[in-house]
């Protein structure tokens, strides 16, 4: 009776097929085909060319410099603001007795800010008809708070150092904290007051097979009473912030009336992000739509070329574990695409900046968080697309259908969407792999289909599902 | 006689490949499915008045061809690229040494099958849209008569769309012959078709958009689908299709020249 000894490879450990060696082998295969390296280069060149093209066409359409063009403004700071000086720490209390017009996001409430200059830091506590009581700061959507409270409502905004805290109450006695924000640059002598603001009405008009979306100014009004600022400044008068850059606006829609401690404020325009702003970062990086074609072709060929020439049998003889082979190919394709994407997206931003400047536009700041997310995200996007292409190529095994399928899934939703109603187009941008391009957005626009990271997640989910299918088929099938 | 033999040979080769039938089904199926989906999703709710919508209903019904053409591209490239990939091009040329005859036979066979599949897709799209449109507010009372081939512009849009598909397939055949590598040819043709629609989205200038739409194969070729607001088009319907035909002719000539000059 003999005992079978388990098989032990006699090959030296360092010569066995470690995963590192597998990666090296895949990289060598990629590196030594001159056409493939040229393809990688082509994708970078295409992306940068599109960026330069769009920068050259990005002339400022506003008169007297780019800043007067509404689409160039990232922040809107309108509405009506009636204020008194507030020296040091203190608080302002008022009751919003009635609110009229403007829809669910009409805003009426209290605001503390350091300057009446447009787009400067502020903290605003407001009551809205449809979204409760909220404490808003900065120029991004949302804000702390919520609920269903409506006018009439008591509001209190207190300043203590750089912290501004908002409270609300149904009766002026039992206060409930809404939230707190820090305004780091708030000067000692700030201002406190009442404001009304309202977002533009988004109007969609369909004609000649296309949709045009425009924002129509809405107007709103609110009545305040029981207003008190403490510490009270003897003899301080209420002042109004004038209409932006000119004479006072139409008194019918903008202004303050009232007496005996009752104020009626009317205003138009919002305080917050400009939902109609141009996303210049995204425009500069749109070349990825064209550059990706080369990346997709390259990643597919890394797999299908081996199938076609029977090379895959050699590869599998050298490295029989198929999951590891798939992982190695996906990693090498992904890293190559990532490297190309980093060069292309940083190159696009850096080379387009001087052209944008000479056209009177301020190029997006590269070190800003959202801009950096878009730039790095573009490279990551290409990497995920490459991994997805590798997986589809393993599933399909032939280059022609694999390239077609991947490009169809990534490109066509965006092209077809242009002729569709906005509501339908949004679903295409949410459910297809094209959702991944949302990572390039730096402005929360009215037509945003999906938030950047969620969109990127959708693409990653497609890539993972394709990888799982590819792994299963690769193990099951003969090469 | 050779010509007939070449045609028969090409027809047999094309007919006996499963991928051909998949692609033909995809041309008709994608055209119909996308056309029906787009038509079903558009209604008059966002128009100032239903009549003020100025919706080009035949064009809407035929919008699925934007996706269906991709199958025509793949079919055109595979018709010649498949032979290079499998190596049968050597046998083909041994049987019929005149290369222009081979390419002409391939072009004729591809054009014929794409025309049949395209006609099926276009007619089915129009029929489905005819049923869907009144339910979305595009009724005769609102100035949108039911789709009918008896209407001159609609018939031109339908016929032109079939021709569009044929020309796209021939363009792909020409590029496939010139490039010989399937992956490269498909990527190149898809990029050629889609690149300008993508770039015009980036360029804010209407002047440049018009210029690009005049010379780019897909926007110019699809002008043939327009039935109203013709004066707003950057290029006339037939002229636009002519632009695409010029692209296809150049691709076929270049492919033919390289085919004749090169060893397989």
Distance CA B77, CA A12 (A): 48
Which residue from A minimizes the CA distance to B84? Answer: A308
A449-471 confidence digits (pLDDT tens): 788 899 999 999 999 999 999 99
Q: Read out DSSP for A314-347?
A: HHHHH---HHHHHHHHHHHHHHHHHHHHHHHHHH
Inside any domain, residue B184:
yes
Among the partner residues B42, B85, B190, nearest to A308 by beta-carbon distance: B85
State chain A's maximal CA–CA distance in angstroms.
111
Inside any domain, residue B185:
yes
Q: Which residues contact A423 (CB under 8 A, 6 or more apart)?
A: none
CB contact under 8 A, B60 and A209: yes
Under 8 Å between Cβ of A241 and A80: yes
8-state DSSP, A233:
P
Under 8 Å between Cβ of A463 and A391: yes
Size of interface A-B (CB pairs under 8 A): 115
Under 8 Å between Cβ of B63 and A419: yes
Under 8 Å between Cβ of A312 and A320: no
Banded pLDDT at A64 (limits 50, 70, 90): very low
Under 8 Å between Cβ of A344 and A376: no
Inside any domain, residue B187:
yes
Banded pLDDT at A424 (limits 50, 70, 90): confident
Distance CA A464, CA A473 (A): 14
Q: Is A451 on the interface with B (CB under 8 A)?
A: no
Q: Is the ipTM reported for this complex over the cut 0.95?
A: no
Q: First-to-last CA distance in chain B? A: 24
Inside any domain, residue B165:
yes
Inside any domain, residue B211:
yes
Provide the number of structural domains found in chain B: 1
Under 8 Å between Cβ of B185 and B176: yes
Which residue from B minimizes the CA distance to A405? Answer: B70
* Kind plus residue range of the DSSP H or E element containing A93: strand A90-100
Looking at beta carbons, which residues of chain B come within 8 Å of A400? 74, 77-78, 81, 182-183, 186
Could you tell me which CATH number the domain at A75-273 has?
2.60.120
Each domain of chain A, given as residue ranges in start order, spans 19-59+278-476, 75-273
Inside any domain, residue B84:
yes
A165-193 confidence digits (pLDDT tens): 999 988 888 898 888 888 888 888 888 88
* Tokens 């700071």 belong to residue: A77
Distance CA B66, CA B125 (A): 13
Instruction: Evaluate if residue A377 carries a pLDDT over 70.
Output: yes
Flag whether the pTM goes above 0.90.
no
CB contact under 8 A, B187 and A204: no
8-state DSSP, A87:
E
CA B78, chain centre distance (Å): 16
Distance CA A38, CA A164 (A): 57
Banded pLDDT at B72 (limits 50, 70, 90): very high
Closest CA to A437 of A293, A288, A334: A288
Inside any domain, residue B142:
no
Q: Which domain holds residue B94?
A: 2-41+57-133+147-261
Mean pLDDT, residues B39-53: 78
Closest CA to A390 of A253, A293, A296: A296
């Amino acid at each position: 009776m003999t005992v079978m000894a388990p098989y032990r490879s006699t090959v030296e450990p360092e010569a066995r097929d470690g995963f590192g060696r597998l990666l090296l082998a895949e990289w060598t295969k990629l590196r030594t085909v001159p056409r493939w390296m040229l393809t990688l280069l082509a994708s970078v060149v295409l992306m940068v060319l599109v960026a330069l093209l769009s920068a050259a066409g990005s002339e400022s359409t506003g008169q007297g410099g780019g800043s007067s063009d509404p689409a160039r403004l990232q922040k809107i700071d309108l509405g009506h603001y009636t204020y008194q000086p507030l020296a040091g720490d203190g608080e302002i209390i008022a009751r919003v007795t009635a609110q009229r017009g403007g829809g669910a996001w009409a805003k009426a409430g209290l605001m503390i800010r350091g300057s009446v200059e447009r787009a400067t830091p502020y903290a605003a506590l407001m009551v809205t008809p449809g979204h409760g009581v909220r404490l808003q700061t900065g120029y991004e959507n949302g804000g702390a708070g919520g609920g269903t409270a409506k006018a009439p409502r008591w509001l209190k905004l207190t300043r203590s150092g750089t912290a501004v805290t908002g409270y609300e109450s149904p009766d002026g006695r039992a206060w409930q904290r809404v939230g707190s924000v820090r305004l780091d640059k708030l000067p000692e002598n700030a201002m406190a007051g009442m404001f009304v603001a309202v977002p533009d009405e988004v109007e969609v008009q369909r004609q000649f097979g296309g949709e045009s979306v425009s924002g129509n100014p809405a107007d709103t009004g609110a009545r305040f009473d029981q207003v008190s600022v403490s510490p009270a400044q003897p003899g301080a008068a209420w002042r109004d912030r004038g209409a932006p850059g000119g004479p006072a606006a139409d008194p019918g829609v903008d202004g303050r009336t009232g007496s005996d401690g009752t104020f009626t404020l009317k205003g138009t325009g919002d305080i917050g992000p400009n939902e109609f702003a141009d996303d210049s970062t995204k425009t500069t990086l749109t070349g990825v739509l064209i550059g990706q074609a080369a990346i997709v072709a390259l990643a597919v060929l890394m797999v299908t070329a081996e199938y076609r020439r029977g090379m895959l049998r050699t590869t599998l003889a050298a490295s029989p574990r198929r999951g590891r082979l798939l992982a190695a190919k996906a990693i090498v394709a992904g890293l190559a695409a990532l490297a190309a994407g980093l060069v292309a997206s940083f190159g696009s931003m850096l080379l387009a900046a001087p052209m944008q400047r000479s056209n009177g536009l301020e190029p997006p700041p590269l070190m800003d968080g959202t801009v950096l997310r878009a730039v790095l995200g573009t490279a990551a996007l290409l990497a995920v697309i490459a991994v997805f292409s590798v997986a589809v190529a393993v599933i399909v095994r032939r280059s022609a259908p694999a390239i077609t399928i991947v490009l169809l899934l990534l490109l066509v939703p965006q092209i077809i969407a242009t002729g569709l109603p906005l509501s339908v187009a949004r679903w295409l941008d949410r459910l297809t792999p094209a959702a991944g391009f949302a990572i390039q957005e730096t402005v929360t626009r009215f037509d945003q289909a999906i938030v950047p990271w969620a969109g990127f997640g959708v693409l990653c989910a497609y890539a993972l599902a394709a990888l799982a299918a590819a792994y299963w088929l690769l193990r099951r099938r003969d090469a | 006689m050779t010509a007939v033999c070449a045609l028969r040979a090409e027809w047999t080769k094309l007919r006996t490949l499963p991928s051909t039938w998949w692609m033909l089904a995809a041309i008709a199926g994608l055209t119909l499915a996308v056309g029906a989906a787009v038509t079903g999703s558009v209604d008059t709710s966002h128009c100032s008045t239903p009549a003020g919508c100025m919706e080009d209903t035949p064009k809407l019904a035929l919008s699925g061809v934007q996706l269906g053409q991709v199958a025509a591209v793949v079919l055109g490239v595979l018709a010649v690229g498949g032979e290079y990939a499998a190596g049968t091009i050597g046998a083909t040329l041994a049987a019929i040494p005149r290369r222009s005859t081979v390419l002409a036979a391939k072009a004729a066979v591809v054009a014929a099958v794409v025309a049949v599949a395209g006609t099926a897709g276009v007619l089915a799209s129009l029929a489905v849209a005819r049923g869907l449109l009144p339910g979305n507010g595009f009724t005769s009372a609102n100035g949108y008569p039911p789709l009918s081939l008896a209407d001159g512009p609609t018939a031109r849009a339908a016929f032109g769309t079939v021709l569009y598909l044929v020309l796209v397939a021939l363009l792909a055949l020409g590029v496939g012959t010139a490039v010989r590598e399937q992956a490269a040819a498909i990527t190149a043709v898809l990029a050629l078709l889609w690149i300008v629609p993508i770039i015009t989205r980036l360029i804010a200038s209407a002047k440049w958009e018009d210029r690009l739409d005049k010379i780019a194969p897909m926007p110019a070729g699809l002008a043939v689908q327009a039935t109203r607001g013709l004066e707003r088009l950057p290029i006339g319907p037939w002229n636009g299709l002519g632009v695409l035909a010029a692209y296809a002719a150049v691709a076929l000539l270049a492919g033919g020249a390289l085919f004749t000059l090169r060893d397989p």
